Structure 1
């Protein structure tokens, strides 16, 4: 192989998205590409990865093609697939692939299908039972109650399907790049949820300056995100409570705070609060008709707008959801 060929070969292997390591027939490492050189990032992680690479390399040189998985506890936890194959000219090639995100995505998909099946099974099963009870029933009052229950379960399924379509659309669609005044968004959300909140004995308060708070994005998506946050605050508040939406500036960001005085979120639930179908209080969520998708929708919308969504909470005292979005500068003459 000429030096030109060798250079071209190295450039090609360097472009691969996985680590590649070449071992000589005596078991010593001869070369690795740039991905393999940078793999790990943290000293103790690099040591463990290199030990696994050397182990696989020695096995392959000894005539045993092998594949192994390296699980690192972290933080953050990571998973690597390490494969070794013999070279025709002697020696071995070992590849290292970080499959952490791939496995996480597969788990999310599996959990999503399992959760969706469970969530749809509950109202479908309830409708079937109610329909059986309705069959042959002659008492008009009982018939009316059963029919209303069937209607309620049907609305619940419809809401779940609608939320799924909305979430799917948000994940797939690009964000419309238009000027959006978040003050208008908050005002519209207040109008939307005020009736439900008043009926539950909950007051809605808003705080923001008269000056526009502008961001670049999709007003419909942002309206959906803020509505879900506000509706969630009302849903988990008790009668006599207050839900507040506050807009302010922080550096180059517009900050929206949605706070409540409700039941709060247990510390062990906080890391999962934005997962699809995850509910802290399943009984209360079902009683209020929640699909378990609202906070997930909000998170995706804010992420699509290059912002962040976080939460702090104390059980029995309430929760605060904090949205930060890049502020759009107004053109001045």
Structure 2
């Protein structure tokens, strides 16, 4: 027997015993009247509590469950406990839903949900950016009314969703490539997934260009070598012509060797995931080596000046920075006419160490500067080949500086020369002033 039947039986038994007592002392009529009055009062009390319960069930509000005595108190207590359990379940579902939405929002992919009529039910922020949508404004709008690209409409209409659809010129600046995949689910509903593959497409394009450029760069010297070898083998040539052919073959061989060496340097830089060291570099010795190489390449045709602040500290991988700085100096010599000036400087500005190479060469037009660090990009291809350039020097500089989190800033004016500035970050820059010498003592660096 549950508590309701138990308490109801207890009340009836109590009324029966009270009526029996009245019957024994006062007679049948008073006892019957008292019994009817008690039952009527109990009925009115039940009707009152039923009305209260009806109001609670008609407009339920958590925390407003009424209280009562006796049996109805037990009913309200159990109702309160049931509502509390249901509320906890609802809160758990809401938390799971919130975490699910947060997870989708954190995804780098766009997610868009369509109903059975291809109307938008929900989409995350990434999908909004990819398609130029607004989740609040465009909800319940048919997707083809908002995305009217013919390829997308055809993809959705034909329902051939095995392969993704590539949509170009997407995004805010119309420069993105978006892969769209539709997955049917539920009752004629669709899940639209989008993924930005712009970087992948650019990488693939760079790979194709790289292969084509390498093939082109190797084809010319190989053609020259083959032609001269066939000439020397099949035709009688004089000793003077033979020596001239061998010199030209040597030049082409060295060109291929330099190209392979630069490619290996690039491959090593790209494959090295470890950050460069934080060792302090002896800039005096490094700059002296750069000056020696510049003078050897110039052969006295240029004026090379050096301005080095000995208190400036640079930290990094010396071999990598030597390669990067060497390419900057070599380019300055190659692209500066005879009699020009080459300047190498190391300064400290705004807590940043700055290495710069300036020249009075041909200069670079402004539209070429953003592309200078691309592989095999040349402002003047014929002059680059004549000076022995591989077209990879500034690409190496870019990778080295990227590993050191340094910036390459280029300023140039056609006919007046160029300045290449390498600005090192705070964690790779330092300044240690030189202490003033006492009488009879050599200068010392401050501790």
TM-score normalized by structure 1?
A: 0.86
Say which SS state the counterpart of residue 238 (structure 1) adopts.
coil
SS class of match (1:229): helix
State the partner residue of 1:194: 295
Helix, strand or coil at the partner of 2:424: strand
Q: Report how far residue 254 of structure 1 moved.
A: 1.1
| SS of equivalent to 2:223 | helix
Q: Tell me, in whole angstroms, the C-alpha distance in 1 between the residues paired with 2:160 and 2:327.
A: 53
Q: How is 1:1-333 mapped onto 2 (pairs within 5 angstroms)?
A: 3=93, 6=97, 9-10=100-101, 13-36=104-127, 39=129, 46-47=132-133, 54-55=146-147, 64-65=159-160, 67-72=165-170, 75=173, 77-135=175-233, 136-173=235-272, 174=274, 175-197=276-298, 199=299, 201-211=301-311, 213-327=312-426, 328-329=429-430
1:208–1:248 CA contact under 8 A, matched in 2: yes
Map of 2:59 onto structure 1:
none
1:183–1:34 distance in 2 versus 1, CA, 3 Å: farther
Judged with a 3 Å threshold, the aligned counterparts in structure 2 of structure 1 residues 288 and 233 are, in CA distance, closer, same or farther, namely same
Alpha-carbon distance between aligned partners in 2 of 1:84 and 1:267, rounded to the nearest angstrom: 44
Q: CA deviation at 1:215?
A: 2.7
Tell me, what secondary structure is at the counterpart of 1:79?
strand
Query: Cα distance 1:134–1:114, how it changes in 2: closer, same or farther (>3 A)?
Result: same
Offset of 1:9 from its aligned partner? Answer: 4.7
- Paired residue secondary structure (1:177): coil
Aligned residues between the structures: 326
Superposed CA deviations along residues 215-266 of structure 1, whole A, max 9, x for unmatched, are 3310000010000000000000011100111222222321122111111123
Alpha carbons 2:353, 2:430 under 8 Å: kept: no
Higher mean displacement: 144-153 or 49-58? 49-58
Once the two structures are superposed, residues 265-307 of structure 1 have per-residue CA deviations (whole angstroms, 9 ceiling, x without a partner) of 2333222211111121111111111111111101110111001
Equivalent pair of 1:313/1:320 in contact (CA under 8 Å): yes
What CA distance in whole angstroms lies between the structure 1 residues aligned with 2:202 and 2:414? 30
RMSD: 3.1
5+ residue gaps, structure 1, are none
**What's the CA shift for 1:73?**
8.3
Comparing 141-150 with 19-28, which one deviates more in the overlay?
Answer: 19-28
The CA distance in 2 between the partners of 1:293 and 1:282, in whole Å, is: 13
Cα 1:60–1:308 change in 2 (3 A) is same
Contact kept, 8 Å, 2:166 with 2:177, in 1: the verdict is: no
Task: Extract unaligned runs of 5+ from structure 2.
Answer: 1-91, 433-445
Q: Which has the higher contact order (CA 8 A, sep 6+)?
A: 1
Of 174-183 and 287-296, deviating more is 174-183
Moved more, 25-34 or 242-251: 25-34
Q: C-alpha distance in 2, partners of 1:294/1:140?
A: 37
Alignment partners' CA distance in 2, 1:228 and 1:258: 10
User: Per-residue displacement from partner, 1:293-329 (whole Å, max 9, x unpaired)?
Assistant: 1111011101110011121221211111111111434
- Structure with a larger share of its residues in strand: 1
The alpha carbon displacement at 1:126 in A equals: 0.5
Residue 26 (structure 1) shift: 3.5
TM-superposed deviation, 1:34: 4.8
Between the aligned partners of 1:145 and 1:75, the Cα distance in structure 2 is: 56
